[in-house]
Structure 1
Amino acid sequence: MQALVIVAHGSHLNPDASTPTYEHADTVRAAGVFDEVRTAFWKEEPSFREVLRTIESEEVYVVPLFISEGYFTEQVIPRELRLDDWDVAEWDSDGTSATHTTLAAGDVEKTVHYCGPVGTHDAMSDVIVRRAETVTDDPDVGPGFGLAVVGHGTERNENSAKAIEYHAERIGEMGRFDEVKALFMDEDPEIDDVTDFFESDDIVVVPLFVADGYHTQEDIPEDMGLTDDYRTGWETPAEVDGHRIWYAGAVGTEALTADVIIERAADAGADVGNAIEEIRRRTRVAGADGASVGD
């Protein structure tokens, strides 16, 4: 038997923070390739510390629904899961290249295949593109458009910016969009000045966040000038400084994110059958041909 555990931050204050986690778990569960699918949270129940005790399978694949490598993926989650012999050096990572490591959770006698975060997997580039397709309702969106991939950015975790820059570079290499830029909330180049960085009349803005919350639904729309008050909402697209801004909301709310979760587990050795292809087919924007960044 094999089990999948999706671990996420959650929130005591924002009831929507855990919604994408539950939705992706349901999508994976429906694919039928894992005997058990569980979710666990830092700020909600069930907790990281207890989740392994709810599982019967001896082989467990743990996938962090986090954007970047850092404090939670390298310290909190391994500690709370009580993974024997965990050492961050196991990743041998440059900040975006953590894949997986296999460890024992001795107190529950299970083998845990601990995976890198969803946000740094190559397939997340596909999800960002899919977000652009979804918000424009155009499976061929790209020509004539700029794409802004937005992250928080923080001096406390240099890997936060690396994940944003990594996907912006990968998507830029596709040649699909006229321009692709990595922008940030708390470091340069800042999302406040989004129109200064693009010549394209149309700009799709995709925040690389797991869930919609304070930053994606309040800060970023106001910072970009979509609205003076987030409580009054905004148009999509919205006219800002002679450009049309198509604001997509958090990338982690895109249904295709479930594919990335499964791909993380597959990279660690899980038997996922044809679930990857099936989820890509089921979550496709109407009319899309299914081509991905990696194709």
Structure 2
Amino acid sequence: MDSNLNQSNNSEGFTNYKNLNISENPLSTDFGVLLISHGSSLPYAEEIFKDILEKYISLTGHNAEVGYMKVAKPSISEAIDNLLDRNNNIKRIIAMPVFLAPGIHTNIDIPIILGLEPKETDPRCPDGNYPEDHYLMESKPINFDGEINLIGCIGPDPQIINVINKKIESTVFESNKDVSADKTGVLLVSHGSRLNYNREFITDIYNQYKSQTDYSVSQGFMELCEPTIAQSINTMLESKDLDRIIVVPVFLAPGVHTKRDIPTILGILEDEDINSTHFSNDHSHSHTHSHDHSHAQSHDHAHGGLVEFDGEILYTEPLGSDDVIIEILKNRIESNI
């Protein structure tokens, strides 16, 4: 982290930057940058977003903060308070959802939390009357009289392919097996959504990646829509004899889905570890694990079946706080200054 930044943890348990050196650019004195994350009860995502924030501040010198929609701290309203504490001359806030694809959170939840009009009608609650215990009703009002400019999320930026390539290369390097490219397949995994945004995003990334690689490539969804992970792998194996499948979770930060759900579908997480909060850092696995009937049945219902493959499955880390991601954020935000 930049040596000019003095990091301190307050009583709420989140990171504050009290002595932020604002850039000499005069535009930087009248705005703040709010990077918005979903939030998780597990520490993985918060660690990644702290790293993203530190790298972003170091790169740009902007008065910036991360705010979480729910669960984690600081909340979106608390993050805005932090921005104002560091510079009470802020006239506007550039808010960017640090999400890969748009969806209900970026188009409905975040605008509502920010006191803005949602971009579309909420399919969960079309009349807009949310129950009292809904997290939108529990969010604190925003204490800011200036302009809030909510910009788009990351989207299928071509630079993401560079991150995917780096994740694949490092994971293959760690494997002790020599498997040729023509015997290797790559599966890009996304979460899945009942809305079409997630499918459009991963399909765009898939098409970009497929045009630039010699590997056999497919895409699959963890849940909610098809093809599932198992369906995609089965289709790959039907069309080509493969000895290795590299699975790339096209998620920004690690969490329950990348640490537990997807590895369980792939059969690379032992049954006794499924409910554990600790997960191994070893990402090279041979798919030889067995699953009892009761576990396979419950997970099949939730996520569309388990994978059956006798070759090597390599599982990469999510995209994380790669410098390419920080550059995308910088370019997107600075185009709105």
- Give the TM-score normalised by the residue count of structure 1: 0.72
Quickly say closer, same or farther: Cα 1:87–1:237, change in 2 above 3 A.
closer
Question: How many Å apart are 1:167 and its aligned residue?
Answer: 0.6
String of CA shifts for 1:58-84, please: whole Å, max 9, x gaps: 34322212232111111111222224x
Q: Which amino acid aligns with 2:200?
A: K
* Distance (whole Å) between structure 2 residues aligned to residue 137 and residue 263 of structure 1: 31
How far off is 1:234 after superposition? Answer: 8.4
Q: Answer yes or no: is 1:58 the counterpart of 2:91.
A: yes
Output the amino acid matched with 2:47: T
Question: Deviation of residue 181 (structure 1)?
Answer: 1.2
Gaps of 5+ in 2: 1-27, 121-141, 274-278, 288-308
- Larger relative contact order, structure 1 or 2 (CA cutoff 8 Å, min sep 6): 1
Given that 1:208 and 1:252 are in contact with CA atoms closer than 8 Å, whether structure 2 keeps it comes out as no
- Alignment match, 2:49: 21
Output aligned runs, 1:177-256, within 5 Å.
177-186=214-223, 187-193=225-231, 195-198=233-236, 199=240, 200-229=242-271, 231=273, 233=280, 236-240=283-287, 241-252=309-320, 254-256=322-324
- TM-fit CA distance, 1:217: 1.2
CA contact (8 A) 1:125 1:171 kept: yes
One-letter code of the match for 1:49? S
The residue type equivalent to 1:153 in the other structure is G
1:101 matched residue in structure 2: none
Amino acid paired to 2:74: P
Match of 1:74 among 90, 101, 107: 107
Structure 1 CA distance for aligned equivalents of residues 272 and 180 of structure 2 = 28
Matching of residue 148 in structure 1 with residue 190 in structure 2: no
Alignment of 1:113-124 (within 5 A): 113-124=149-160
**Deviation at 1:254?**
4.1
Aligned residue type for 1:150: V
Counterpart pick for 2:66 among 32, 39, 46: 39
Q: Per-residue displacement from partner, 1:31-50 (whole Å, max 9, x unpaired)? A: 1x233121100122222234
Q: Is residue 217–residue 249 contact of structure 1 (8 Å, CA) maintained in 2?
A: no
**Could you tell me the TM-score, scaled by structure 2's length?**
0.64
Give the C-alpha shift of residue 184 in structure 1.
1.0
- In the other structure, the counterpart of 1:290 is none
DSSP 3-state at the match of 2:313: strand
Distance 1:109 1:125, change over 3 A: farther
Cα offsets for 1:123-168 (capped at 9, x unmatched): 3333222322332349xx994442211012132x221222111111
Q: Separation in 2 of the partners of 1:7 and 1:177?
A: 36
Question: Cα offset for 1:194?
Answer: 5.1
CA distance 1:131–1:230, change in 2 (3 Å): farther
Q: Are the equivalent residues in 2 in contact too, given 1:239–1:245 (CA < 8 A)?
A: yes
Letter paired with 1:5: L
Displacement after TM superposition at 1:244 (Å): 2.1
C-alpha distance 10-26 of structure 1, shift in aligned 2 (>3 A): same
Q: How do 1:265-276 residues align onto structure 2 when only pairs under 5 Å count?
A: 265-266=333-334, 268-270=335-337
Return the offset for 1:22: 0.9
Aligned to 1:88: 119
Instruction: Name the structure 1 match of 2:39.
Output: 10
Three-state SS of the structure 2 residue aligned to 1:22 is helix
Superposition deviation, residue 14 in structure 1 = 1.1
1:158 and 2:196 matched: yes
Q: Which amino acid aligns with 2:315?
A: Y
Percent of aligned positions that are identical: 21
Which of these two proteins has the greater Rg computed from alpha carbons? 2
Question: Aligned-residue CA RMSD in angstroms?
Answer: 2.9
